[in-house]
Amino acid sequence: MMHAYCIIFVSQLLSISGAMESSIVGGRVAKPHSRRYMASLQVRGHHTCGGILIREDFILTAAHCRQDEQLTVVLGAHDITKKEKSQQRIEVKQHYPHPKYKGQYDNDLMLLKLKKNARLDKYVKPIGLPKKDKKILANITCEVAGWGLTGDNRVVSDVLREATEKMQFSFECKYIWGEYFKSEHMICTAFTKKKGGVCQGDSGGPLICNTKLYGITAFTREEDCNNPKYPHVFTKVHAFLPWIKEVMQGLGDAE
Render pLDDT for 119-128 as a digit per residue (tens, 0 to 9).
999 999 999 9
Query: Which residues contact residue 184 at a Cβ distance below 8 angstroms, ignoring those fewer than 6 apart?
Result: 236, 239
Partner residues linked to 55 by β-bridges:
58
* Confidence bin at 19 (pLDDT 50/70/90): very low
Q: Mean of the pLDDT values across residues 8-29?
A: 51
> Among 212, 230, 60, which residue's Cα sits nearest to residue 140?
212
Whole-number average pLDDT of the chain: 83
The single-letter DSSP state of residue 97 is: E
Amino acid 14: pLDDT: 44
Q: Mean of the pLDDT values across residues 20-40?
A: 80
> Among 201, 199, 157, 156, which residue's Cα sits nearest to residue 50?
201
What is the pTM for the complete model shown?
Answer: 0.87
The answer to whether residue 215 scores a pLDDT higher than 80 is: yes
Catalytic positions are: 64, 108, 203
Per-residue DSSP letters for 8-70?
A: EE-SSS-EEE--SS--EEE-EEPPTTS-TTEEEEEETTEEEEEEEEEETTEEEE-GGG--SSP
Domains, the chain, with CATH or none: 36-127+240-248 (2.40.10.10)
Pairing label, strands 206-209, 196-198: unpaired
The single-letter DSSP state of residue 79 is: B
The answer to whether residue 17 scores a pLDDT higher than 60 is: no
Write the CA distances from 248 to 6, 39, 162, 239, integer angstroms.
27, 18, 28, 16
